[in-house]
Amino acid sequence: MADEQRLSRTLNPRSIALFGTSPAQSVIEQCLKLGFTGNLWPVHPTRETLAGVKCFTSVADLPSAPDVAFVAVNRLASIDVIAQLSKAGAGGAVCYASGFAESGMHSGINGVELQQQLVAAANEMPILGPNCYGYINALDGIALWPDQHGCRPLTSGVAIVSQSGNVGLNLTLQQRGLDLAYLVTVGNQASAGVEDCLEVFINDSRVTAIGLFIEAIRIVALQTGRSEAGATIAASHTASLAGRRSAYDAFFTRCGVAMVNTPVELIETLKLLHQGGALSGNKLVSLSCSGGEASLIADLCEKTSLVFEPFSEKQLTKISSTLTELVTVGNPFDYHTFMWGDRTATANTFTQVMFGPQDATLLILDTPPKPDHNSETWVTAAQSLGDAVTATKSRGVIVA
């Protein structure tokens, strides 16, 4: 268990030391690209510069103890570097090297024992890893990340903790409009683990929701390792989090953690939480300009706890007064195309719908994807929902 204040310093540094060559160079480039304005201190025994930044020859030569270090040297050398950093008073470290507990006995070296030596060398200094890809803090322009990513500078957003570096990378590349403030990979969790990152995020007012990708178990949590084959793969990767699925399911349910089954569900659930928080209940109204879409949304929700309650007689009368006699009002609601592109008429209908007791109103809306397509009328539909949200002060969600 890592100290929350020390891990917070690790994840929100103003000075970063870097060890290694190619991965360390990539981290410098990614930090500068994301807008980091603090100190970057590459450490290399022979090079004068790395990515155009002056190198120091050793930990002892650094101007002061760094808030965090990105350690990308081999596994045996990593232990020595971590020990030096701990003695110097560094805030924390990302240990990039693999070949620790996740690999067992390899080349005559016991990876579990090697990881124990790493933890002992760190003493009370928190470590992310080993076998860790790093982290991105888009709120403060920090990318201890030796690769490309899709994050951009933000003032608030969601935080995701991933045990898998590659899954974390893929989540940064999502194109679903999710404001990703933190992406932290934890690797083997020899020192700092998922729960430690959660404590930091909970105490950061800029974080609006938290997502987890954890192998071998499944707040939003995405669980892998549910099948026998998947569980075997997860165990061979890190073996750091294991347990019966039923126990974790019961725990998450008790704590109010949403459980999802795919990365897309993880992203979309986090978007919902980020934009307005959790729903107060399970009552929905669906709006679409298609009977097929109305039927589809009803089918998709059939095996969930979500309900589409019928409109009251009073509400039916008010909604119908905004429509032609050819439109049948129901929930899910196909409002037909006669008002398509008419913002005033559409907003009037949506407003009467949203004066109901539902917990959220969904607008099913897929806009044309190509730049040369004319999406003006689709934008009008979205604006109409916004007008209705303003008029009724109720929750509206566009589902694309």
Task: State the burial class of residue 235 (Cβ atoms within 10 Å of its Cβ: 0-12, 13-18, 19+).
Answer: middle
The DSSP secondary structure of 320-380, one letter per residue, reads HTTS-TTPPP-SSEE--STTTT-HHHHHHHHHHHHTSS-SEEEEE-----STTS--HHHHH
**What domains are defined for the chain?**
4-274 (3.40.50.261), 284-399 (3.40.50.261)
Asked whether residue 244 carries a pLDDT value surpassing 70, the answer given is no
- The H-or-E segment that residue 296 falls in is helix 291-300
Token pair, residue 272, equals 């919902």
> Ranked by mean pLDDT, which of 289-298, 330-339, 388-397 comes out on top?
388-397
pTM value is 0.76
- The residue among 167 and 54 whose pLDDT is bigger is 54
Q: How far apart are CA 163 and CA 277, in angstroms?
A: 25
Question: What are the b/e assignments for 121-148, b being 16+ CB within 10 Å?
Answer: bbeebbbbbbbbbbbbbbbbbbbbbbbe
Residue 294 has a CB neighbour count (10 Å cut-off) of 21
User: In Å, what is the CA distance from 195 to each residue of 152, 189, 192, 318?
Assistant: 25, 10, 8, 50
Residue 67 has a CB neighbour count (10 Å cut-off) of 22
- The most distant pair of C-alpha atoms in the chain lies apart, rounded to whole Å, by 82
Residue 231 banded pLDDT, cuts 50, 70, 90: very low
Task: State the burial class of residue 23 (Cβ atoms within 10 Å of its Cβ: 0-12, 13-18, 19+).
Answer: buried
pLDDT at 79: 98
What are the tens digits of pLDDT across the range 296-325? 899 989 888 999 999 999 999 999 999 988
Residue-level length of the chain: 400
What are the tens digits of pLDDT across the range 154-204? 999 999 999 888 889 989 998 888 999 999 999 999 999 999 999 999 999
- The H-or-E segment that residue 208 falls in is strand 207-214
Residue 354 banded pLDDT, cuts 50, 70, 90: very high
Question: Could you tell me if 118 and 133 are in contact, meaning their C-beta atoms sit under 8 angstroms apart?
Answer: no
Q: What is the mean pLDDT of residues 278-285?
A: 92
The DSSP secondary structure of 26-59, one letter per residue, reads HHHHHHHHHT--SEEEEE-SS-SEETTEE-BSSG
pLDDT at 338: 84
Contacts of 2 (CB under 8 A, 6+ apart): 92, 126, 191, 192, 193, 196
Q: How far apart are CA 330 and CA 335, in angstroms?
A: 9
Counting Cα atoms < 13 Å in the Cβ hemisphere of 217 gives 20
Return mean pLDDT, the chain: 89
Strand order in the sheet with 284-288: 333-334, 284-288, 360-364, 396-399
pLDDT at 234: 44
Task: State the burial class of residue 224 (Cβ atoms within 10 Å of its Cβ: 0-12, 13-18, 19+).
Answer: buried
